[in-house]
Structure 1
Amino acid sequence: MTRLRDLTISLPPRWRRRSDPDHGLLLQARAPGTPPSGTRPELVLRCTVVDGDLDAWRATALDELRKRLDDFDLEDEDAFELEGRPVHYARFSHRHGLAALISEQWSWLLGTTGLTLTGTVAREDYADWCEVFEAVAATLEPDPRAA
């Protein structure tokens, strides 16, 4: 379990971690090995100030991703509760160089602070990692004082 400022999150063992909280990067973690696809699985937790509600914030964020990422395609989107907290979920495909990627995002709004956890893997590795990403998302525990 990793404690980052006002939250905790459980990551797979031996994942390399770094952070830059002054720039909104609470955590970047990468798998210790590279699968045959050549793309190392990665989890990134970011925070940002949000002016508005969860749905509006995520709609704007997805529009920005659509403009920035090559071959962006929103494959799934949902809003539900995860461990008792409202969360917005999105899964989308995109390209980085020659690599076809899948990213999953879980986003929470705590007052005016938005948290987004993004898991990214090569498309061919997605079936091996989707449950790992979901399990990590379920462990995110923001301190109620963070709101």
Structure 2
Amino acid sequence: MMQRSVIPVFYNIDASVVRHQTENYEQAFEKHQIDFVGEMEKVNKWRLALTEVAHIWGKHISGKRSEADIINEIVDRIVHELNPKTLDVAKYLVGLDSRVKELTTLLRSGTEGVTRIGIYGMGGVGKTTLAKAVYNQNYCNFDGSCC
């Protein structure tokens, strides 16, 4: 069976309405029961699917932000989950976490514009590995990135 990611979006509606098929959902299912008289199994599968998806953590959206901002946020999340741009870094490196944390703090210092950080030292001490680890942890916080 193929694995699929599901990110439910509840736009100006409470998930409990979807979960319990009340309000407009109740009316729609009453119509489906008429339209699909001989296919109640299909209608029941739809009901079950909506119940299940309403239990998944989703995005609850009220009308306070523009639809464009909401769509951009959802697309960014999907792209991040489906197409991570991470670089290959060895799994068990000693002392890397504290250095990554320091550089991450510098990157999140609130400065605007282009951020550049120089890493220098003699060959073989892990400059490239550090740069890759910092990139992996922070690339999604920026509009654009490359390494």
Output the TM-score relative to the length of structure 1: 0.24
